[in-house]
Amino acid sequence: MDILWFFHRRLRLINMMYDDGTAPFREAMRKIEAHEEPFVDTRDPEHQDVSEPAFLEEFLETSEVVELLGNWCLLMTHATLQAFLREYVAEIARAYGHNPKEVRARLEAIKAKNWFERYRLFFLQELGIDWQTSPAKLTDLEQINLTRDDLVHNVEVTTTYVYRDKKHAERFPESLFTDEL
C-alpha cells in the first residue's frame, strides 16, 4: 500500500478544507475593511456613537471562525502525521520480516518527552534515519505537535483563542502558528 499517497491526499484535503472553508469569512473581513457592501458605515457621527469601528463585532466573530477552522486543520494535520508514522513503522517491519507488534513495543519502550520525539529517536536508533537531514524543518514539525497540545490542553470556555503554554512559548518565541498577540 502506498501510504505516502494517502498521507499527501489527506494533507491536500485538509488544505482544501481550510482554503474553501475560510474563503467566505476572509472575504467578509476584506469587505469590512474596505467598507464595501453590505458593510458600509451609515452611522451619523453627529447623532450616533462612532467611537468603535463599524462592524467590529462582525469582523471579530468572522476572524474567530477563520482561527477555529485553522485550529481544526492543524489538529487534523497532527493526526495525519501521527497515523502516517505509525503505519510506516508497521509497513517497514512487515517488509523486513519483523513482527509489527514487537517493533511497536521497541518504539514504545524508547524514553522521550513526547510521541514525536519517540518516533524521531526510533528512526535514528533503529533505522539509522536522522530527521535532522530531512528537507522538512524538524522545528516546524515539532511546532505542529506543541501547538496541537496547546489546542487540546489550553482551552478556556470564555474565549475561542488558544494560548501557548510557557514551555512552548520559551522554546519557540516566534511560533509558526501564532501572531504578535
158: number of CA atoms within 13 Å, CB side?
0
DSSP single-letter state for residue 142? H
**What confidence tens digit (pLDDT) does each residue in 83-138 have?**
999 999 999 999 999 999 999 999 999 999 899 999 999 999 988 999 999 998 99
Q: What is the pTM of this model?
A: 0.87
5-22 burial code (b ≥16 CB/10 A, e <16): eebeebbeebeeebeebb
Q: Which CA distances in Å does 42 have to 60, 62, 84?
A: 19, 21, 53
User: Which amino acid, one-letter code, is at 177?
Assistant: F
Which triple of cell numbers denotes residue 9? 491526499
pLDDT band at 181 (very low <50, low <70, confident <90, very high): low
